[in-house]
């Protein structure tokens, strides 16, 4: 939107995406390493084997149409969250507006389609 309005140059979009990508990568690796592995809470059985089997089952067992439906639900809820946040004025209203779609997203167990496609080798 800012590029279309002329507020920022077009080349700032790939720069922003690069910064966001590496920031998310660093944050996810930090979370995985420090908060999940090195704290010692989930490194021993039965927790470690349950987490492994749950992740493999969730990534391998669904059929293609289940993956498609989950992807549609995922993207629809993300769009609802963005639309509601854009309509809210105050910061606390924006937080409340995005909280409900994110909560439903997690409660339904939706995932991104790209994740499944890469794990299934398609």
Per-residue pLDDT tens digits of the chain, which is 122 residues long: 888 888 989 899 999 999 999 999 999 889 888 877 777 777 778 888 888 888 788 777 878 888 888 888 888 998 999 999 999 999 999 999 999 998 998 888 887 655 444 455 54
pTM exceeds 0.85, yes or no: no
pLDDT of residue 113: 56
Dist. CA 60–CA 94, nearest whole Å: 36
Dist. CA 96–CA 81, nearest whole Å: 10
pLDDT of residue 96: 92
């Amino acid at each position: 939107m800012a590029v279309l309005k002329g507020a920022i140059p077009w080349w700032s979009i790939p720069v922003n995406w690069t910064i966001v990508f590496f920031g998310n990568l660093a944050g996810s690796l930090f979370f995985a390493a420090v908060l999940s592995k090195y704290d010692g809470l989930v490194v021993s059985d039965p927790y470690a084997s349950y987490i492994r089997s749950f992740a493999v089952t969730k990534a391998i067992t669904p059929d293609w149409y289940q993956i498609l439906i989950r992807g549609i639900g995922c993207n629809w809820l993300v769009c609802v969250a963005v639309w509601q946040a854009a309509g809210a004025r105050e910061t606390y209203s924006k937080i409340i507006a995005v909280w409900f779609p994110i909560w439903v997203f997690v409660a339904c167990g939706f995932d991104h389609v790209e994740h499944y496609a890469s794990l299934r080798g398609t």
